[in-house]
Structure 1
Amino acid sequence: MPTTTLPTATTLDTARLLLGVLLPTIAKGPIVRRPWAVRLTARLDLDTRAVDIVRRVHARYPEGPLMLKLPVRKQAMVLAPGDVDTVLAQSPEPFSPASSEKRAALSHFQPANVLVSRGPVRTVRRALQEQVLDTAHPVHRLADRFVPVVEEEMQHLMCAAARSGTLPWGEFLDAWYRVVRRVVFGDHARDDKDLTAMMIRLRKGGNWAFLRPVRKDTRRRFLQRVNEELANAEPGSLAAVLAAAPKGDGAEPAEQLPQWLFAFDPAGMATFRALTVLATHPQAMAAARREVDGDTSGRRVLPYLRACVLEALRLWPTTPMILRQTTRPVEWPAGVMPADCGVLVYAPYFHRDDRHLRGAHDFSPERWLTDEEDGWPLVPFSDGPVVCPGKQLVLLLTSATLASLVGGHDLRVAEGQALDPERPLPGTMDNYSVTLAVAPRAERAAAAS
């Protein structure tokens, strides 16, 4: 049994990781994105540089997780694929997802959420989440209700886009929020922008974690609104399923629901990024349209479009830092990781490692359509026992959204970040700068004439 501690980075290497990897990632906003920081990161290609920094550091410390030399915090970084598998497979014990940083950030709007819970109460809250979100099923029990909501909102969006000839990110986001509110709360919440704005205000505070006091009055009013929604839950909504579900002691249902609003936000970002790639990659667009045109599932089972969303999340993870914290000392072949040690998996390092991952910088949805296991950690929704419980629901809604957008319209990038299918895709996708040009789908227009 090892009795020594794990390898520790030098002060210089720790500084490289802090300044070149962690700081740019945090600056973009861990809870809600800061558009100016995303733009700057894209302009300076900081995410590509971050992956290169991790690669060089890993070459100097090839054995086991690496401890960082920090004065006030025990912190490890996981650099090997097998170690990533170990951490994720052994969560929540001894690798708890309720890290100190995550608790501080999420306490701004959901202090009793499953993500920041430990022990028996976490088990209760996780079971409730899985029950409501149909975690084990690719098609949610309310798909017959949710998919028409997506189609209706995207039809409204594309009618307006066709009239103006453009689809900017902001207009897509507004339509996506309408989908989210209707799915979570019901049709009556479609235009409740105040609720979304309240959530965003609290999430902006969460970006600062320990460094900004919680807006307690805003949080109280927000959670009161959520409780009111649960008490008067509209049939056919996630809130209604949550209200009717059996609940164990300590479930705190009102504090499980905000996570869905939070998680659906980056899902919209991934959808728009996938749409932007499809607009610039003719072969991928053709494959997507073949699936849409031949679909017999009512847009409930769209494997290729689901793979497009997964590929966008691989290329540009909306959760680039997967955080854990040890609940006890953990033995590794290279040494012992202490208790209460932060554990960081920097997903872009594995998602973009072109030494081991074929086509690491290409858009290749096909990689998600095979059962082949290559042992390489691609973790857009995390993995293991604490994998995102809403993964399948997110893929259902995002793939249905893409189907509605590409089925009847031609798209190209009119403004913003240019993507070339013949060149490696950039390390950062600045979706905030993108405006898509929209026109009726050419072959359909020709057939109609």
Structure 2
Amino acid sequence: MTSTPLTRPVTASVTETLRVAAEVALPTLAGGVIKRRPIAMGLGGKLQVDRPAVKLLSRLRDRYDGRPLKLRVPGRSVALVLSAEDVGTLLAGAPTPFSPSTVEKRAALGHFQPHGVLISSAEHHRPRRRFTEAVLEPGRSLHELAAPFARATADEAAVLLREAGRELTWETFNVAWWRLVRTVVLGPGARDDETLTNLLERLRLDANWAYLHPRRKQLRERFHARLAEHLGRAEPGSLAASASARDDGTATDQVAHWLFAFDAAGMVTFRTLALLATHPAALERARAELPDADPAQPQQLSYLRACVLEAVRLWPTTPMILRETTEETAWGPAGTTVVVFTPFFHRDTELPYADRFEPDLWLDGRAEANPALVPFSAGPAICPGRDLVQFCTSTLLANLLRDHDFEQRTGPVLAPDRPLPATLDNFHLEFGVRPVPSRVR
């Protein structure tokens, strides 16, 4: 059990449950939980679907003094967390009594990684977590392979800028992002293997439907076989080399999850670019920390990392964090699903910085003091790739911003003197690109 006493829940009315379903759950599911749907995300951006969801949960929190809300879901025990303190308690309680392996995740992620650490039983969770941490090196700001990763990022950024010319779209960026991801994870030999990630995309689209979509065993076997070939090469300077040396027989499932997670990192990078393009003071500060040395050398880039974290706070890539109780707790019987809707806590109207771009939160201790600001989750089940993701995203941004200006041409207004939108559709953002002569070296 967790050492912190759990707040006694209250039971929602039928009307409140239906409103949570319609205004919180439905828009989140429509956007695609495992693989984002561009059309749905575009509509969500136009309707700003997260704004009414945040307002609804704010009213429920005030009405019930922040106590967890037991939703009236037929045949299920579901609790909705409404206080920052309870978020901290919940996430600290992994893997027992609050397991990250929930029935929803098992149904969804089982489509492409049935033995992934996130959905492993208690028996298998610890060894698979140790394997993942040994390869991804959480807690280390510069990965052991930071030097080859930095060189690959600089090379890919140069190719991207040539391909983009004077206009950068999501489509152009995303192709380059996946080339970089395949290089980092699997080595240069996988850089152009679009078939691999296309297979994964098809499986992830199925996974959006969880148990409502039949599993395509042959498709998954094709993906795993192709992935295993790359892992078998174990190219030096890639995560695959480290993974192969420690393989416990489930490496393909763990690596499949890393590829899946890097998709969200690409979205974050593009959104961070939009924020920096529209916030001149932040852009100037970010450029000030760029070294005059070779950009292909690994750097800490603390402010750019803070900008990335702030983009995730503003637009969480994991809008719902789920836990499942392994035993009876004050929040319900064993098997209770506990839900944290992260946009509510990240955009809480009681936060003075709720709707503005404030990277310093991640440098001055304010974010650390708030247990509900969880860009990479928190507690024992925190994302083990968080430091590697921050390194890759900040390094790519440094290479793009070093000698080029980006002007946002489409999408909602992002400005320092206006509240930032609650929902941001990255798929339809476009930027004008121009070299900055005074910065050309």
Provide the secondary structure at the position in 1 that maps to 2:138. coil
Structure 1: how far apart are the matches of 2:202 and 2:137? 29
- 1:306 maps to a residue whose letter is R
Structure 1: how far apart are the matches of 2:244 and 2:382? 23
Q: Do 2:133 and 2:384's aligned partners in 1 also have CA atoms closer than 8 Å?
A: yes
Percent of aligned positions with the same letter in both sequences?
Answer: 47
Structure 2: how far apart are the matches of 1:72 and 1:292? 55
- 1:314 maps to a residue whose letter is R
Q: 120-129 vs 413-422, which deviates more?
A: 413-422
Q: Do 1:8 and 1:69's aligned partners in 2 also have CA atoms closer than 8 Å?
A: yes
Asked if 1:206 is matched to 2:200, the reply is no
271, 276, 279: which is aligned to 1:278?
276
Q: 394-403 vs 346-355, which deviates more?
A: 346-355
Asked if 1:90 is matched to 2:93, the reply is yes
Structure 2: how far apart are the matches of 1:45 and 1:159? 34
Matches of residues 48-127 of structure 1 in structure 2 within 5 Å? 48-127=51-130
Q: 426-435 vs 416-425, which deviates more?
A: 416-425
**TM-score normalised to structure 2 length:** 0.95
Provide the secondary structure at the position in 2 that maps to 1:437. strand
1:52-88 deviation per Cα after TM superposition (whole angstroms, max 9, x unaligned): 1111122222253211001121111011111000000
Q: Do 2:313 and 2:373's aligned partners in 1 also have CA atoms closer than 8 Å?
A: yes
130, 133, 139: which is aligned to 1:130?
133
Q: What residue is the counterpart of 2:187 in the other structure?
A: 186
- 2:218 maps to a residue whose letter is D
Q: What residue is the counterpart of 1:364 in the other structure?
A: 358
RMSD over aligned CA atoms reads: 1.9
Q: Do 2:7 and 2:67's aligned partners in 1 also have CA atoms closer than 8 Å?
A: no
- 2:170 maps to a residue whose letter is W
Q: What residue is the counterpart of 1:341 in the other structure?
A: 336
Structure 2: how far apart are the matches of 1:231 and 1:91? 33
- 2:114 maps to a residue whose letter is P
- 1:371 maps to a residue whose letter is G
Cα drift, residue 159 of structure 1: 2.1
Q: What residue is the counterpart of 1:44 in the other structure?
A: 47
1:325-378 deviation per Cα after TM superposition (whole angstroms, max 9, x unaligned): 0000113xxxx42210001000111100131x2211101111101235433411
Asked if 1:238 is matched to 2:239, the reply is yes
Matches of residues 361-440 of structure 1 in structure 2 within 5 Å? 361-372=355-366, 373-440=368-435
Point out where structure 2 has 5 or more consecutive residues left out of the alignment. Answer: none
**TM-score normalised to structure 1 length:** 0.94
Provide the secondary structure at the position in 1 that maps to 2:316. coil
Provide the secondary structure at the position in 1 that maps to 2:407. strand
Cα drift, residue 161 of structure 1: 2.3
- 1:147 maps to a residue whose letter is A
Q: 4-13 vs 34-43, which deviates more?
A: 4-13
Structure 2: how far apart are the matches of 1:109 and 1:173? 21
Structure 2: how far apart are the matches of 1:20 and 1:59? 18
Q: Do 2:10 and 2:69's aligned partners in 1 also have CA atoms closer than 8 Å?
A: yes
Structure 2: how far apart are the matches of 1:7 and 1:256? 38
Q: Are the structure 2 counterparts of residues 295 and 315 from structure 1 closer, same or farther at C-alpha, using a change threshold of 3 Å?
A: farther
Provide the secondary structure at the position in 1 that maps to 2:11. coil
Aligned pairs, number: 436
253, 262, 265: which is aligned to 2:263?
265
